[in-house]
Structure 1
Amino acid sequence: MSAVCAGARRKIETAISESEQRATAAKQALDEAKQKLAKAQEDAKQLMADAEARAKAVCETIALESEQEVARMKEAAAAELNSDASRASRELRDRAVALALENVEGELKQRMNESVQSQLVERSISMIGG
């Protein structure tokens, strides 16, 4: 019986020893997993910070490019407006000159008769010295 008890005792001691080894290995695995988790969380935090920094830089770039594009569009619109205003002014001036010439021609046709033409020709000849 004592041999049976001794055998059972050895089995129990072996089982306890194996359980302790498994517990130690499990604790080490848990510690490693915790370290990996902490590292992964730290890496994720850094990735988020980097992504936020890149997003902010992209937003600033887009905002700056948008402002530049708006300024360019305003300049183009102002240049086009000035060009249109200059063209309209030239057209009005040309039209005014054309109307003035038409009026003068009409006035001359009404006032010029053969008598007036003869007087002008004689006066011009006498001024020339004839």
Structure 2
Amino acid sequence: MLRGMATVSFYADDLEAAKSWYTEVLGFAPYYAVPGGYYEFRIGDYQHELGIINRKFAPAAAQNQPGGAILHWHVDDLQQSFNRLLALGAKEYSPITPHGDGTFITASVIDPFGNVLGIMQNPHYLDILTKTHPA
């Protein structure tokens, strides 16, 4: 039934500030824009979508505080990525945490707009990447 992540949507009261912040975090500008409403970035090896949406378009039941599911993005250097997010103004949501035998490591932050952004070192991600994108 589920075939892969299509889009993750984050909401922001200050859409332009969110666009600028994520442009700084990612190192590139969004590829698609609806001024005043939406910005979309394509991220990573599989070009997954990160959409930043003006909070006025959030569903009525959406909460304005962090919580719920956390989508973890694979990173090559978790400590460096975590430190950079904090330096750019994010707040720690969950600390760097090894899981199982320590090969899976996660952390998450709250971006300056109230969204939870998860990061992870995951050997399974790298295995799949090698199989789907051989060198």
Question: Higher strand proportion, which one?
Answer: 2
Task: Give TM-score, length-normalised by structure 1.
Answer: 0.18
Could you say which structure has the greater relative contact order, defined with CA pairs below 8 angstroms and 6 or more residues apart?
Answer: 2
- Which TM-score applies when normalising by structure 2? 0.17
